[in-house]
Structure 1
Amino acid sequence: MRFRSALDNASGSPRPLPLAGAAPSQALGDIEPARLEDWFRTRYFDARIDVSSSGAQNYTLGRLRTMLGIETGELDTLMFRDSPSLGCEPLRAAVAARYAPGRLERVMVTHGSTEGIFLALSAILRPGDEVVVLRPVYQSLSSVATALGATLKVWELRPEDDFEPDISRLRDLVGPRTRAVLVNFPHNPTGAMPEPAAYQELLSLLESQGCYLLWDAAFGELVYDRAPLSDPGGFVDRCISFGTLSKAFGLPGLRIGWCIAPPDVLAAMVKLRDYVTISTSPLNELIATKVLERADRTLRPLREQAQRNRRVLMDWAADHSGLVFLPTPHGGVSSFPLFPDVPDMTGLCERLLEDDGVLVVPGQCFGHPNRLRIGFGGPTEELRDGLGAVTRAVTEAVVPLRRSR
């Protein structure tokens, strides 16, 4: 009974009725293929120059141990037993201290933020629920909801606005039937994020509606020009937020993230987790705890590198304004430049990898075929080399087209 009440009456009010004509329930096995992961699957490990990633440069264990003072003795005495369902207490406390002060009971450790998103959506959604999602967006924030039978309403981030979020457009989408709003700021792939006043407007709107806010803050520690956005769980009671060590912390292979959510939602997520991952690794949890307890040691060099690389990226776009238009990324380490003379960049991406060993992400993975996702979190010289290869490839593609006009 506790599980049903967590799902069906978490706020003490009746669940919204399904929409007429809502998407039918379907098997999760029928979920749409993850376009980004499919692109990486056969290409990621063959690249010589990687300017595709949405994360910062990766750390080695040796460098991490030196930076954080992790002694071999701590590793040697670690017992490989199962961790608690919500994650070990020291790691949950470290997450709470940085992102959710005084709300330890709302913290769950997950396998990256991806597991948290999947479990949370599976816990709160039922067929016919109305869900607002961004477009473009990282696919987990839309396809999982669709596979669960939700009816999607799209909050479009428009290219003509440089993908800046327009809260008035969101206001037109939410209403009494809205079960959840799913957002990702700073945004992947564009780096867009709301100004502080717009952020407060968004929170006030969703708190007044009483729906769930699912807040993907994977890039929350990487912000430029604007103030960082605090965890919205301090303002919106029905908030489920996600974080990860995979992006700003340069530790994707550690596979540690977290979810901050109401306790009844966490209880429902644990019930589902019992059938899949059960818990996270105690070794990974130990390292993650050390990272978050001394977070600024890990973050500082990666932030500084991202700042330098962002300048390199923006200078490149300015120097080649006849080929490319780049909306300014205000957060994260991914950008989404437009190549107006190339209708579909996918073939060019294939040639870049084959001829130059350069990996980028075609915009088609996010529904914009005339764009690329270019990551700028890695080594600066690698970024320069990758941008040079993109310039050459686009120039070779564009010149014949212009001559034929």
Structure 2
Amino acid sequence: MKLRSAPLEDWLRDYYFTAEIDISSSGVQSYSMAELRTFTGIEYSDLDALVFDDGYSLGTPKVREAIARRWGDGDPGKVMTTVGSGEAIWLVLTALLRPGDEVVVVQPGYHSLVELAVGLECTTRIWRLDFDRDWRPRLDELAELVTDRTRAIIVNFPQNPTGASVTEAELREIVAHAERVGAYLLWDGAFADLVYDSPALPDVSTLYDRGIGFNTFSKAFGLPGLRFGWCLGPADVLADCVRIRDYTTLHTAPLVELLALGVLEHAEAFLEPRLKQARANREIVRDWAAAHPDLVAMTLPAGGVAAFPRLLGLADTYEFCENLFQQRGVLVIPGSCFGAAQHIRLGFGGSSEALVDGLDRMTDALRDERR
């Protein structure tokens, strides 16, 4: 596999740890170990009792059962726990795809969902989201992209970085397009529990026998540093993933799964406060964009905690984002990291105070650009 650099990670690697105000992230505000222990009831004695043996290739049975109950069809045999959802995506794509396979990917999109297929020398067909259509995915365009040669369709809705989503009826139509040609449908559901005006979408694995859903604690759960994720899909695909994993990570760490089980058993304690915070912050972003129509044009995200506004008058936001960080201490992501140079990824999952301060500083910077 020959992978190109990931511009998003290159940008964050330089700036993430030194930003004064971070309004770039696509995840909610992170929890501490103290908060995790409070919400789950995990005691120090539980940690002390843990023996650092090797783990199960597919994950600890109780953890897989908890995931299957909440997101799957109840069958833990369709669940694999992984080191973040990134490992799950890599394992599944490596197991399924071969050079020359035809794959539909979404742009602008998260790099793992596009570049891994490119690195595997697949033929990628782009399902493009358009700012002028409020980033709404056109299912008639997907129908034209899917052919008898399509091996996989790779999507994530609610979407990163645009915040666009689909209805359940549209989800089922996407499934139908995959089903008519026997393609795998790979669905990154990282933002499944971060939706505002509609119920969470069902996991695609419950709707289609070649549907594979990915998820993670890194976005809605506020636990990115735990590096815990999973996928739900056909048992034969997971078996192929295990054969690949036998040469890499082998299994998810027992300590991570101990903590993850506690989180899964008390999921709403983690999700509800951050969703409430995200709702309030989304209104702050809405009001900010409405107050500055000469500076920014934005579609309000339907899910997730990132918007993808266009900064008016800038053909490429990269230099602006660099100056915003260097001169004003504010971190956002230039849209070129997602192939949309006029835009920025604006995260609103953190504290409301930091968001307001960051937006004020960015407004001043945009005004200075006009002078």
TM-score (norm. length: structure 2): 0.98
- Aligned residue for 2:115? 143
The answer to whether the Cα contact below 8 Å between 1:233 and 1:261 also exists between their aligned partners in 2 is: yes
**CA deviation string 1:252-296 (max 9, x = no partner):** 000000011111110111111111111111111111111011100
Q: Which amino acid aligns with 2:115?
A: S
- Aligned residue for 1:315? 287
Indicate whether 1:389 and 2:361 are aligned. Answer: yes
Indicate whether 1:69 and 2:41 are aligned. Answer: yes
Indicate whether 1:298 and 2:270 are aligned. Answer: yes
Distance apart, 1:204 and its partner CA:
2.0
- Aligned residue for 2:212? 240
- Aligned residue for 1:342? 314
**CA deviation string 1:100-159 (max 9, x = no partner):** 132210100001110000110000000110000000000111111111110000001111
Indicate whether 1:127 and 2:99 are aligned. Answer: yes
Output the CA distance in 2 between the equivalents of 1:292 and 1:363: 34
Output the CA distance in 2 between the equivalents of 1:98 and 1:349: 39
**How is 1:2-401 mapped onto 2 (pairs within 5 angstroms)?**
28=1, 30-397=2-369, 399-400=370-371
Output the CA distance in 1 between the equivalents of 2:177 and 2:99: 24
Q: Secondary structure at the match of 2:124?
A: strand
Output the CA distance in 1 between the equivalents of 2:239 and 2:171: 29
Distance apart, 1:306 and its partner CA:
0.4
Distance apart, 1:386 and its partner CA:
0.9
The answer to whether the Cα contact below 8 Å between 1:231 and 1:241 also exists between their aligned partners in 2 is: yes
- Count residues with an aligned counterpart: 371
Q: Secondary structure at the match of 2:215?
A: strand
Q: Which amino acid aligns with 2:46?
A: E
Q: Secondary structure at the match of 1:152?
A: strand
Distance apart, 1:201 and its partner CA:
1.4
Runs of 4+ in 1 over 3 A off after TM superposition: none
Worse-superposed segment, 157-166 or 199-208: 199-208
* % identical equivalent positions: 49
Q: Secondary structure at the match of 1:258?
A: strand
The answer to whether the Cα contact below 8 Å between 2:245 and 2:251 also exists between their aligned partners in 1 is: yes
Q: Which amino acid aligns with 1:316?
A: W
Output the CA distance in 1 between the equivalents of 2:124 and 2:306: 26
Output the CA distance in 2 between the equivalents of 1:227 and 1:247: 17
Q: Which amino acid aligns with 1:169?
A: E
The answer to whether the Cα contact below 8 Å between 1:249 and 1:299 also exists between their aligned partners in 2 is: yes
Q: Secondary structure at the match of 1:276?
A: coil
Q: Which amino acid aligns with 1:307?
A: R
Output the CA distance in 2 between the equivalents of 1:288 and 1:195: 29
**CA deviation string 1:148-187 (max 9, x = no partner):** 1100000011111111111111000001100000001100
Distance apart, 1:369 and its partner CA:
1.0
Q: Secondary structure at the match of 1:44?
A: helix
The answer to whether the Cα contact below 8 Å between 1:206 and 1:236 also exists between their aligned partners in 2 is: no
Distance apart, 1:371 and its partner CA:
0.7
Distance apart, 1:200 and its partner CA:
2.0
Output the CA distance in 1 between the equivalents of 2:115 and 2:73: 32
Output the CA distance in 1 between the equivalents of 2:363 and 2:182: 48
- Cα RMSD for the two superposed structures: 0.9
Distance apart, 1:390 and its partner CA:
1.1
Output the CA distance in 1 between the equivalents of 2:112 and 2:135: 19
Larger CA Rg, structure 1 vs 2: 1
Output the CA distance in 2 between the equivalents of 1:285 and 1:264: 23
**CA deviation string 1:181-222 (max 9, x = no partner):** 000110000110012322221122222221000000001000
Worse-superposed segment, 228-237 or 130-139: 228-237
Output the CA distance in 2 between the equivalents of 1:114 and 1:298: 21
Q: Which amino acid aligns with 1:312?
A: I
The answer to whether the Cα contact below 8 Å between 2:154 and 2:185 also exists between their aligned partners in 1 is: yes
TM-score (norm. length: structure 1): 0.90
Output the CA distance in 2 between the equivalents of 1:292 and 1:67: 11
The answer to whether the Cα contact below 8 Å between 2:295 and 2:366 also exists between their aligned partners in 1 is: yes
Q: Unpaired runs of 5+ in structure 1?
A: 1-27, 401-405
Distance apart, 1:227 and its partner CA:
2.5
Output the CA distance in 2 between the equivalents of 1:257 and 1:196: 23
Output the CA distance in 2 between the equivalents of 1:263 and 1:196: 25
